[in-house]
């Protein structure tokens, strides 16, 4: 599976593992995998039908095409045993893609050549390929370029469908964001764990044994040295697959209780056994751990406007007093940074288009204390300096270190889209005619 880059904000608190798996519905997630059921097949065999999805035929060749790249990029042993173990998962993926593409076509969702080209360029950049090198890379893996293009189109169609049908139904209130911020603040000093995951969904109880067997096989390969990030990109059905399975930093209580218990018992870089979770099976790795220390107040950022009424060093006391009175009049008349900037300009003090931004630690001790205590939008009392009279105003103060409200909102949205998209696909499976021939 080759992924276009995804910018994932820092993880915020959630109640269970399923909510940590946000679907990346705008960036393109490209899965290019190959399958050979056991050994290379004669020409007449590869054209045999593996499955029929409504009116879509999936051939043995299609399945073989998906397997080879999966094995190569995940660095799995290229042998009959590996092929046998992963064949059901690969076929399931092809069936799901057929359903997604059919639903997009039903809704008249079309993908342009330019969108496909842009997706290929993203893949090239994400995988350090030269410009235009994607086609050669795919063919070196023994994969038909047409197969790769079909896969890209399928994923783009599904992302467009979700953006059109699912995202507009999601409403995130300010109270939800406030709750997340409160949880972050309440857990200062708690041990945090940076976790990687491979999530294998079980949508049909009849498939549970096959999924369990695949999970055990993957654990064995990982403990034998297979790259976790590569395996996650290929096999995980979570959006974290785009970042090699990296969930990010989490705290106890954010993941499923069974996963929480396992994480706290792992050594750094240790691979877990398969863990049963409500929606499937998870394999996790403990990447690192740390203490979530309280933030340093001096790390806070402030946006500042300032005005300096210059006074010559040899000015008379009356001149200095006059400048102080002018500054005091401005202090008394302004409310907010826009007023402050206009008053400063009227007093002959130019102002930049935007307030200056500083961390408190970057200011001298006197200004640091003032900037920490001054109310936002209120001017300071005039400050006498050797070269004049200064007035400050704090336009904005970042009170807390952590994700912004927008970042939290985007994370919640991805979690919701993930849940709803899985439900959507499950409904498509239930309504479809699926005839397995192998």
Judge if 386 and 415 occupy the same domain: no
Judge if 315 and 175 occupy the same domain: no
Please answer whether residues 357 and 303 qualify as being in contact, where contact means their C-beta atoms are separated by less than 8 angstroms. Answer: yes
Judge if 423 and 384 occupy the same domain: no
Note the pLDDT tens digit of each residue in 1-57: 444 333 333 333 333 344 344 333 333 333 333 333 444 455 556 678 999 999 899
Match 């288009």 to its residue by tokens.
353
Note the pLDDT tens digit of each residue in 229-256: 888 888 888 878 877 889 888 887 778 8
Note the pLDDT tens digit of each residue in 96-112: 999 999 999 999 999 99
What average pLDDT score do residues 242-271 get?
88
Of the ranges 47-61, 74-88, 126-140, the best mean pLDDT one: 47-61
d(CA 380, CA 394): 9
- Give the model's pLDDT for residue 278: 86
Query: Which residue, among 166, 102, 202, 99, has the nearest Cα to 429 in the 3D structure?
Result: 99
pLDDT bin (cut points 50, 70, 90) of residue 143 is confident
CATH number of the structural domain spanning residue 363: 3.10.50.40
Token pair in block for residue 418: 């993930």
Note the pLDDT tens digit of each residue in 367-405: 888 888 889 999 999 988 888 899 999 998 876 556 678
Question: Is this structure's pTM higher than 0.95?
Answer: no
Query: What is the full DSSP assignment across 172-217?
Result: --HHHHHHHHHHHHHTTT-EEEEEEEEEEE--SGGGHHHHHHHHHH
Judge if 261 and 384 occupy the same domain: no
- Give the model's pLDDT for residue 402: 63
Query: Which residue, among 172, 237, 182, 185, has the nearest Cα to 207 in the 3D structure?
Result: 237
Judge if 380 and 412 occupy the same domain: no
Note the pLDDT tens digit of each residue in 299-335: 788 899 999 998 887 888 888 889 899 999 988 999 9
- Residue 383 in 3-state DSSP? strand
Judge if 322 and 425 occupy the same domain: no
Task: Quote the domain boundaries for residue 342.
Answer: 297-397
Percent of the chain at pLDDT above 90?
33
Question: How wide is the angle at C-alpha 214 spanned by C-alphas 212 and 218, nearest 5°?
Answer: 115
Confidence check: pLDDT of 151 > 90: no
pLDDT bin (cut points 50, 70, 90) of residue 164 is very high
Confidence check: pLDDT of 132 > 50: yes
Strand (E) or helix (H) holding 309: strand 301-310
Note the pLDDT tens digit of each residue in 340-368: 999 999 988 899 989 998 888 888 888 88
Judge if 57 and 32 occupy the same domain: yes
For the chain, how long is the longest CA-to-CA vector? 103
Query: What is the full DSSP assignment across 118-180?
Result: HHHHHHHHHTTPPTT-HHHHHHHTT--HHHHHHHHHHHHHHHHHHHHHTGGG----HHHHHHH
Question: How wide is the angle at C-alpha 177 spanned by C-alphas 170 and 237, nearest 5°?
Answer: 55
Judge if 173 and 311 occupy the same domain: no
Note the pLDDT tens digit of each residue in 165-178: 999 999 999 999 98
Sheet of 301-310, strand order:
356-359, 301-310, 388-397, 383-385
Confidence check: pLDDT of 272 > 50: yes
Please answer whether residues 234 and 74 qualify as being in contact, where contact means their C-beta atoms are separated by less than 8 angstroms. Answer: yes
d(CA 209, CA 116): 37
Judge if 111 and 141 occupy the same domain: yes
Token pair in block for residue 292: 């979530």
Judge if 35 and 87 occupy the same domain: yes
d(CA 408, CA 12): 7
Q: What angle, 0 to 180 degrees and rounded to 10, lies between the N-to-C axes of helices 80-106 and 145-165?
A: 50
**Which is more confidently placed, 211 or 82?**
211
Match 């209780």 to its residue by tokens.
257
Judge if 380 and 413 occupy the same domain: no
Looking at the structure of the chain, the number of domains it has is: 2
Task: Give 418: exposed, middle or buried? Use CB within 10 Å, 0-12, 13-18, 19+.
Answer: buried
Judge if 178 and 203 occupy the same domain: yes
Integer-rounded Cα radius of gyration of the chain: 29
DSSP letter assigned to residue 50: E
């Amino acid at each position: 599976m080759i992924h276009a880059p995804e910018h994932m904000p820092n993880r915020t608190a959630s109640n269970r593992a399923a909510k940590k798996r946000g679907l990346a519905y705008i960036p393109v997630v490209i899965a290019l995998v190959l399958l050979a059921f056991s050994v290379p097949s004669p020409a007449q065999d590869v054209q045999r039908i593996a499955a029929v999805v409504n009116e879509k035929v999936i051939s043995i060749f299609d399945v073989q095409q998906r397997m080879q790249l999966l094995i190569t990029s995940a660095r799995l042993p290229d042998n009959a045993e590996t092929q046998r173990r992963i064949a059901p998962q690969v076929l399931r993926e092809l069936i799901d893609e057929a359903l997604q593409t059919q639903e997009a076509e039903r809704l008249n969702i079309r993908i342009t050549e330019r969108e496909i080209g842009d997706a290929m360029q993203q893949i090239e950049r994400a995988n350090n390929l030269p410009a235009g090198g994607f086609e050669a890379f795919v063919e070196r893996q023994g994969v038909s370029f047409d197969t790769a293009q079909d896969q890209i189109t399928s994923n783009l169609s599904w992302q467009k469908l979700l953006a059109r049908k699912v995202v507009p139904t999601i409403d995130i209130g300010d109270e939800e964001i406030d709750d997340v911020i409160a949880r972050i603040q309440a857990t200062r000093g708690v041990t945090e764990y940076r976790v990687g995951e491979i999530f294998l969904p079980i949508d049909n109880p009849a498939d549970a044994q096959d999924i369990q067997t695949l999970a055990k096989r993957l654990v064995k390969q990982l403990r034998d040295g297979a790259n976790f990030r590569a395996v996650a990109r290929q096999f995980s059905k979570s959006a974290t697959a785009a970042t090699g399975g990296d969930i990010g930093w989490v705290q106890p209580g954010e993941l499923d209780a069974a996963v929480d218990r396992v994480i706290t018992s792992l050594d750094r870089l240790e691979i877990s056994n398969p863990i049963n979770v409500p929606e499937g099976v998870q394999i996790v790795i403990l990447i690192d751990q740390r203490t979530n220390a309280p933030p340093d107040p001096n790390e806070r950022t402030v946006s500042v406007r300032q005005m300096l009424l210059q006074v010559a060093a040899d000015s008379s006391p009356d001149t200095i007093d006059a400048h102080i009175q002018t500054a005091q009049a401005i202090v008394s008349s302004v409310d907010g940074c826009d007023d402050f900037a206009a008053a400063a300009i009227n007093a002959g003090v130019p102002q930049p288009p935007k307030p200056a931004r500083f961390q408190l630690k970057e200011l001298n001790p006197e200004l640091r204390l003032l900037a920490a205590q001054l109310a936002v939008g209120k001017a300071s009392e005039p400050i006498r300096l050797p070269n004049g009279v200064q007035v400050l105003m704090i336009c904005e103060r970042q009170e807390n270190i952590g994700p912004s409200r927008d970042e939290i909102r985007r994370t919640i949205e991805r979690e919701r889209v993930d849940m709803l998209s899985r439900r959507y696909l499950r409904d498509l499976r239930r309504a479809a005619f699926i005839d397995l021939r192998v």
